[in-house]
Structure 1
Amino acid sequence: MSITQIGTIALWILAILIPVQLIIGAVVARKSGQSASHYFISGKQLPLVLVFFADFATVMGVGNFIGYAGKGYEIGLNQFWMLAGEQGSKMIFAIFLAGMIGRYAYTTINEFLEKELFHDKWLRAIGGIMMTLPMICWTGAQAIGIGTLLSVVMGIDPVSGIWAASLTAILYTVMGGMWAIVWTDLLQGLIRIVVGAVFFVVVYMGVDGIGGIKTAVTAAKPELWSMNSLGFGAALSLLLTPLCGQFTFQAWWQRCFSAKDAKTAQRGFFWTAVFAIFMCSASIMVGMAAYTINPNLPRPDMAFSWMLTSWLNPVLAALLVVTIIGADMTVSAGLLNSGVTLLLMDVIKPFFKPTASDAELIKMGRWLTFVLGVGAVGVAFSFPSVLSAALFGLAVTGGGLFMPLVLGLLLRDKNGGTYITQNAAKASLILGGGTAAVFQYVPQLAKTFGGGIIPGICLSAVITLAVSVFEQARRKAKVTDSTNIQ
């Protein structure tokens, strides 16, 4: 198979697809411009089909094709720990949280926490700033994946590929907001499911299914067919980092707020989880199969692209290339929109522009999309692999916000409030999230604890409970003293 053929066909398909996506952005721009609610949460009008594809297209991006296959190539079945945390958490999220969140029409998770639990705008601002980080990191992860794909399939310099895909996603997000995102997600999601399924079937038939992969892997590198070879700490970190991070992931909350009702939000996320578990599992196995055939790839992230060029005819391969490029653009667009929503609605509007009109908010949102998009490209040049960038962002929010969120929802008082205090939540965000960031980013610390999430959530849990217990006890003491004086 000629890589040149694949690249040429893919370029022709992209020449049609990219203008179509830009046209969608332009067409729905007027609808998105009706109000800030329409721009950021589609006016809370999304039906089940659009909620599902908005979820699915965001879940199954470049990271879940190229990144999961790369980790399958590198660590084998151990990558199922991350799958259980990342995709399994979506199932838990769908069953226990999505329906509850879908009853509200807030724009961010931090707005929900302010209005329903902690009633503290400073906590909302700190959360908004911190939670923008995983949006940028995940967008950067998409850029890393697309640069890798284009360099393997088309011989394009990765830097040029990163900029081309990122700028396209930025442009149609700027024009159409959430409405542009969900309609392009529908188009891209349908292509992704069909072409991705064909690719997985072709590969599995070619290697005699999972049994054939197991036989080849155990002969070539037995530790790949084990979920214990990484060690307990690293495996636990792979499980907890996405699990904790996903529950505090603005993109999921924003899509629940966009759903027309609670049942729609819950069903959309449930079926997203089902499809994501299947396709991510298939990507891991593709990476393991690639190792048995070619164990000398320069980088593990090249496994998916190499298998694509080796196993599909040029037309199907080109369609899959376009599918993954489209995945990059739709995921990037959704995450950029979520990051912009966090900064604008949690920080800028409450503190700097409290009286801003909807038109002003939309205008600022469009400018912020450019700024965060460029920042995401910068992230793409700072991390060595697709999932290293994504895991860093999830570790920060999971380490800082997961415990206050879960404990705040579980420990409710009789009046519908929470026993977790404002100061406890703020301290957890800053200290827990900061600790997770340092331990995740510094190589020696990451090796010691398997990443940043374990020290982050442990410190967060201690701080959240200790500060809350102390402040609640002090409040009771003040009430008692006051009563005695009277």
Structure 2
Amino acid sequence: MSMLDTGVILFYFLLLIIVGVLGVKRAKTVEDYALAGRNLGLFVYLGCLSAVILGGASTIGTAKLGYQFGLSGIWFVFMIGLGITVLGLFFIHQIYGANVTTISELLGRRYNKETRLISALVAAIYTMMVSVTQVIGMGTIIHAVLGWDMTVSMLVGGGIVLFYTILGGMWSVTMTDIIQFIVMTVGIFFVMLPLSLSYVGGWKSLSEQLPATHFDLTSMGWTNIFQYFLLYTLGMVVSQDIWQRVFTARTTKIARSGAVYAGLYSFAYALALSIIGMCAVIVFPTINDPQNVFAKMSLTILPHGLLGLILASVCSALMSTASGTLLASSTLLSHDILKQYWLKDISDQKFVFLSRMITLAIGVIAITFAIWIQDVLVALDVAYAILSGAIFVPVVLGFFWKKATAKAGFYSIIISSLVVLVGLAVEGLSSTNPIMYGIAASIVSMIIFSYLQPSSNMQKGNIVLEEWEDEQGAL
């Protein structure tokens, strides 16, 4: 690292802090702090949505998978893009007009307050674990580039994100995300990808030097591909940090179009990072830790100045997701638990202060967990396993199956969460089976409790669905 590269990165960090401080002036109400006033246009909304779904695991993890499996490494981020596209095409019409802040609030309206409570806890754990992956990613980059101790690296990276997220909430996150979206787009597509290919002699040279398996889209195996579908495609549909971004859009049309465009952007991002990982196979035939592939490629092929820009682009991807998920987790706890059960009459100003304190607490916990786990893909797998296995079925059936009852939704989340956690403990954190067990348990629970214990809540749920349809018709 030259002084120029270090200066670029430090300037970028300083810029984010300044923008985060400016966000304080706009985050005066709860809706401003959590949802940026529900007033974002298409470009800003697209940038924010893309920035939050493509974080550290997407960047570092896909380069790692490209190094190990070649083009088949695209499936990880491809499934994320597929999930956000499905959300845009089939679900935004259902959720946008509900005028809620969290996924748990919507489940509470569809089922009951107990379901809102348990789903808030599950979703808060998920979003916090995604924050953990981003802190690990930031630590990996800073450690590889500056040579700092991994723990110190995670403390520095996580601390910067936590600072500006606490100050301005979604307004700070939105403004920093636009900067981060631009930087990561330029850094990956216009600098890192073409220079990586040029360094190894172009695509023709790459195809001649790598084994044929690296050009096989299924080389990682159908089991892993299916696992990514279960984790990320289903997880995107019911992810609080994604929903919270959806609710920031000014109109339903913007929310839907932006989600589809973000999905397409994800597909391109997956391909670019996989190719960069493939180039690294030629540059580094053997490497101790494939998780460091992207950082080592940057240090090896980039001239001074551009190196700082690329590392800033990776930090952009990491920080945008970390800030969004930290805010999502704190919103779930403050909005769906503390305000509902203990602080019902709290003023708007005090609630904003409370949200900042909860964000601080979640951030400290996330950094602590990151130091403990230190594997970006394992941490992300745990997060999405809990979400996909426990929340997906009640949300989807709540939208499309009018016979689903309050007790069914509540017990389904509890039972499936326990099944997923036990399955992960028994079969390992990277096993696909616990997710399928959780989904199966959730479906069975929903059906059994809905038919064996029908209640007046079923009628209430039907009324809620009809109200949403009426709201959408008005929009």
TM, length-normalised to structure 1: 0.88
CA distance 1:280–1:214, shift in 2 (3 Å): same
**TM-align CA RMSD:** 2.2
Give ranges in structure 1 of 5+ residues lacking alignment: 412-417, 477-486
SS in 1 for 2:13: helix
Partner of 2:130: 138
Deviations 1:124-154 (A, max 9, x none): 0111111011211111111111111122222
**327-336 or 241-250: which moved more?**
327-336
Contact 2:57 / 2:137 at 8 angstroms: preserved in 1? yes
SS in 1 for 2:305: helix
Partner of 1:26: 21
The 5-angstrom pairing of residues 447-486 of structure 1 reads 449-472=431-454
Residue from 40, 46, 49 that aligns with 2:40: 46
Offset, 1:211:
5.1
Letter of the 2:409 counterpart: A
State yes or no: 1:289 paired with 2:289: no
Deviations 1:253-296 (A, max 9, x none): 11111111101111111111111110122112222331243232
Offset, 1:224:
4.5
CA distance 1:227–1:436, shift in 2 (3 Å): farther
CA distance 1:75–1:451, shift in 2 (3 Å): farther
Distance in 1 separating the partners of 2:443 and 2:74: 26
Offset, 1:229:
4.9
Offset, 1:88:
0.9
Residue from 239, 244, 260 that aligns with 1:249: 239
CA distance 1:122–1:366, shift in 2 (3 Å): same
CA distance 1:256–1:76, shift in 2 (3 Å): same
**208-217 or 244-253: which moved more?**
208-217
Give ranges in structure 2 of 5+ residues lacking alignment: 459-475
**330-339 or 286-295: which moved more?**
286-295
State yes or no: 1:184 paired with 2:166: no
Residue from 411, 415, 419 that aligns with 2:403: 419
The 5-angstrom pairing of residues 271-310 of structure 1 reads 271-310=261-300
Distance in 1 separating the partners of 2:10 and 2:78: 37
Residue from 199, 206, 210 that aligns with 2:199: 206
State yes or no: 1:121 paired with 2:113: yes
Partner of 2:464: none
Distance in 2 separating the partners of 1:32 and 1:263: 25
SS in 2 for 1:452: helix
Contact 1:400 / 1:429 at 8 angstroms: preserved in 2? yes
Distance in 2 separating the partners of 1:267 and 1:475: 34
Offset, 1:50:
1.6
Contact 2:71 / 2:271 at 8 angstroms: preserved in 1? no
Offset, 1:231:
4.7
Distance in 1 separating the partners of 2:351 and 2:412: 30
Partner of 1:481: none
Distance in 2 separating the partners of 1:70 and 1:111: 37
Letter of the 1:245 counterpart: G
Letter of the 1:102 counterpart: Y
Letter of the 1:204 counterpart: L
Partner of 1:89: 83
Distance in 1 separating the partners of 2:214 and 2:420: 28
Distance in 1 separating the partners of 2:42 and 2:326: 23
Letter of the 2:259 counterpart: F
Partner of 2:154: 162
CA distance 1:319–1:27, shift in 2 (3 Å): same
Residue from 326, 336, 339 that aligns with 2:316: 326
Partner of 1:269: 259
Residue from 7, 23, 37 that aligns with 1:12: 7
Distance in 1 separating the partners of 2:76 and 2:12: 32
Offset, 1:473:
9.6
State yes or no: 1:63 paired with 2:57: yes
Residue from 151, 156, 159 that aligns with 2:143: 151
Letter of the 1:136 counterpart: M
Partner of 2:472: none
TM, length-normalised to structure 2: 0.90
SS in 2 for 1:360: helix
Offset, 1:103:
2.6
Distance in 2 separating the partners of 1:187 and 1:54: 10
Distance in 2 separating the partners of 1:79 and 1:422: 41
Offset, 1:76:
3.8
Between Structure 1 and Structure 2, how many residues are aligned? 457
SS in 1 for 2:316: helix
Offset, 1:446:
5.3
Distance in 2 separating the partners of 1:135 and 1:180: 18
Distance in 1 separating the partners of 2:260 and 2:224: 28
